[in-house]
Amino acid sequence: MTEVDSYEPDCPLRVRAPIMLHRWETLTFLHWSYQPNAVARLLPAGLTLETFDGRAWVGLVPFYMRVRWPGVPEIPWASRFCETNVRTYVRDSQGRSGIWFFSLDAARAGAVLAARAGFALPYMWSRMSLVRQASTITYRCRRQIPGPVGTSSLVTVRIGEPFDDNELTDRDHFLTARWRLFSIAGPLRMYANAEHARWPLYRAEVRELDDSLVRAAGLPQPEGAPLVHYSPGVDVRIGRPRLLRR
């Protein structure tokens, strides 16, 4: 395990030849802290848990996705959909920080198949919706394939005022400013980089929360109220998958 006591909010890398262009928008970060061993036991070999304030952190992150390929116009029906991921924060054997996804639910079956094939990510096809009324947003997710069928999430948040940069702490950046994902395909260990601008972060409070996605990942039931951040979104350049060196 690696304890982190500072974290920068600006992207340190460049994706010069992206294979996909994303827009992650109307996004809410909900985070709970855990005893490190409860999370570390679920990680694959070659990845080490990052902790902050001596605790592991697990995020539930619902948002709206827009995706297209360089030089190809966006196809609205296929390229726009809701997504929710369950994640934690890790380092590889070379000390690079990134995200380990326990699950990713998406509302487009084609996107699920493409992400599983191209990035070896644990995507699930789910029925999902996002409804915004003034400053309140409700995210709904009910998993379909693969199971367990019936796993679901309901999150309603009220969006507040934006944070000033000087109000945000190292912990806020540790939980949100992430530029790399890791995945596994059989014996292969892979990563991909994601370049984007600094997150514009807003205060938010939970109005309703009924989630079983975190438990379905094999994690204990979260305790207490989550830390919450909201963002209207960022544009993202996704790099091609690369093999991790052991």
CATH architecture of the domain with range 2-7+15-241: Beta Barrel (2.40)
* Predicted local distance difference test score (pLDDT) of residue 144: 92
HEC letters along the chain: CEECCCCCCCCCCCCCCCCEEEEEEEEEEEEEEECHHHHHCCCCCCCEEEEECCEEEEEEEEEEEEEECCCCCCCHHHHEEEEEEEEEEEECCCCCEEEEEEEEEECCHHHHHHHHHHHCCCEEEEEEEEEEECCEEEEEEEEEECCCCCCEEEEEEEEEEECCHHHCCHHHHHHHCCCEEEEEECCEEEEEEEEECCCCCEEEEEEEEEECHHHHCCCCCCCCCCEEEEEEEEEEEECCCEECCC
**pLDDT per position in the chain (246 positions), as tens?**
899 878 899 999 999 999 999 999 999 999 999 999 999 999 999 999 999 999 999 999 999 999 998 988 777 777 899 999 999 999 999 999 999 999 999 998 877 887 788 778 999 999 999 999 999 999 999 999 887 777 999 999 999 999 999 999 999 999 999 999 999 888 889 999 999 999 999 999 999 999 999 999 999 999 999 999 999 999 999 999 999 876
Instruction: Give the start-to-end residue ranges of the domains of the chain.
Output: 2-7+15-241
Dump pLDDT digits (tens) for 124-172. Answer: 999 999 999 999 999 999 999 887 777 999 999 999 999 999 999 999 9
